[in-house]
Amino acid sequence: MRSAMRPHSAAAALALALLALAGAACSDAGGPEKEPARVFVFAIGAGAVERSPGGEGRPGEALTLTAVPADGWRFERWSGSLSATANPLTFTLGMKQTCIAVFRPIDNGSQYVPGASHFGRNRYTEYIPGDRPLVISVPHGGELKPAEIPDRVNGETTQDGFVIELGREVAGAYGASFQGRPHLVLCHLHREKLDANREPGEGAAGDPFALLAWNEFQEFILVAKATVERGLYLDLHGQSDDEARQQLGYLLSAQDLRSTDAELDQGALAAGSSIRHLAQASAVPFSRLLRGPGSLGGLLEKLGYEAVPSPQWPHPGAVPYYDGGYNTQVHGSRDGGTVDGIQLEATRKVRFDAVARGHFADALARALGEFVSTWY
Ligand SMILES: [Zn+2]
């Protein structure tokens, strides 16, 4: 019987970490036509990936990948450079490709007790299971800077201040207005060590311990999502600029959001959004799900917090806008599944001051609870 996720999946993840490091093929001297293809193979969840033929291939040659799930898991799809569900999958090598096998837990996560913390290795990651169709993850709030993981030198390393506190307060406040609690997944590693909202090559920067924590963080989200038939995944962040409004990301650009409601409701933008499943399952026009009174932005606005998109602010205008990162792409419904995703970039004003944060946590919990009970 599968007991939690520690024994087999940590080993599987570490094996994958080493596989991935070995997969970063070194290019020996020679003409460009002799350069080996750089294929980075990863897994989300517990499982392994077999390559055929083994060894490094050349661009233009065929490669077959076979995803082999661990006990208690099933293969779902390929992500990264490839978007496919076939297994095995044969494709033509390019110069550089990232292939991510996405595995899902088969069981319903019943070994997890709602409200009790479950930790990954060295407490770098934490999962507090819930019992509502709402999963909140916090990838950028961590403080830990262990010496065993080298500092990342490429990419963003700024922490999102007080987002872990905000996430915990939202989970706590949820029960005050609604029954039950959301699932909460936290990364406690500082972003200088791991960016848990990037593809693993960039996020973990080739370090096996960082990659293991990355895998655990992703795995906790998958375990939480597996308990949810239909529901919402929220990736919680904090803006480093002092912006006026809460920003909600649906994988639609600021330009997309300048579309009229009629344009939004034609279907193409909904199909490319992180709430694709909700848009297709609901008779309500996409524009209303996105920025009507019952949208997450609309519900926050009703509670006194300006948000974009919302009825008052249908698009972000000229300010920098975050439309959703890696986690929203992978864990929302754009590429499949019945759990929708939204990225929230909370302003500094609602995070750094404890009293203001408490008020915002109450409002966000109420908005999320209303959103979930209305749409799922
Ligand atoms: Zn962030």
Residue 294 lies in a domain: yes
Does 128 lie in the same domain as 11?
Answer: no
Give the distance (Å) from ligand 1 centre to CA of residue 2: 33
Q: Which amino acid is at 292?
A: G
Determine the pLDDT at residue 20: 42
Query: Domain boundary at 88, 105, 122, which?
Result: 105
Report the Cα–Cα distance between both ends of the chain, in Å, rounded.
Answer: 32
Residue 1 lies in a domain: no
Does 280 lie in the same domain as 160?
Answer: yes
Determine the pLDDT at residue 16: 45
Does 95 lie in the same domain as 126?
Answer: no
Does 118 lie in the same domain as 101?
Answer: no
Determine the pLDDT at residue 56: 80
Residue 233 lies in a domain: yes
CA-based radius of gyration for the chain: 21
Residue 272 lies in a domain: yes
Does 139 lie in the same domain as 71?
Answer: no
Does 254 lie in the same domain as 160?
Answer: yes
Determine the pLDDT at residue 15: 39
Give the distance (Å) from ligand 1 centre to CA of residue 290: 21
Does 100 lie in the same domain as 28?
Answer: yes
Query: Domain boundary at 105, 136, 167, which?
Result: 105
Does 189 lie in the same domain as 312?
Answer: yes
Determine the pLDDT at residue 24: 35
Residue ranges making up the domain that contains 200: 110-376
Give the distance (Å) from ligand 1 centre to CA of residue 139: 7
Share of the chain above pLDDT 90, in %: 68
Centroid of chain to Cα 193: 18
Determine the pLDDT at residue 109: 52
Determine the pLDDT at residue 117: 93
Give the distance (Å) from ligand 1 centre to CA of residue 193: 14
Give the distance (Å) from ligand 1 centre to CA of residue 161: 9
Residue for token pair 């008779």: 283
Determine the pLDDT at residue 375: 95
**Using CA atoms in the order 119, 120, 125, 128, what is the torsion angle rounded to 10 degrees?**
-30
In what helix (H) or strand (E) does residue 346 lie, and over which residues does it extend? Answer: strand 339-346
Residue 367 lies in a domain: yes
Q: Which residues, given as ranges, of the chain have pLDDT below 70?
A: 1-34, 107-111
Residue 297 lies in a domain: yes
Give the distance (Å) from ligand 1 centre to CA of residue 315: 20
Does 223 lie in the same domain as 152?
Answer: yes
Give the distance (Å) from ligand 1 centre to CA of residue 90: 35
Indicate which CATH number applies to the domain containing 364: 3.40.630
Determine the pLDDT at residue 280: 96
Does 306 lie in the same domain as 219?
Answer: yes
Q: Which residues contact 283 (CB under 8 A, 6 or more apart)?
A: none
Determine the pLDDT at residue 102: 83
Give the distance (Å) from ligand 1 centre to CA of residue 238: 6
**CA pair distance 210, 102, nearest whole angstrom:** 19
Give the distance (Å) from ligand 1 centre to CA of residue 165: 14
Neighbours of ion ligand 1 (CB under 5 A): 140, 160, 237
pLDDT tens-digit series, residues 153-195: 989 999 999 999 999 999 999 988 888 999 999 999 999 999 9
With the C-alpha atoms ordered 218, 129, 250, 354, is the resulting torsion angle positive or negative? negative
Query: Domain boundary at 48, 76, 105, which?
Result: 105
pTM summary value: 0.78
Total domains in the fold of the chain = 2
Does 305 lie in the same domain as 203?
Answer: yes
Does 35 lie in the same domain as 92?
Answer: yes
Q: Which residues contact 211 (CB under 8 A, 6 or more apart)?
A: 13, 16, 17, 20, 200, 204
Determine the pLDDT at residue 107: 66
Question: CB–CB of 282/375 below 8 Å?
Answer: yes
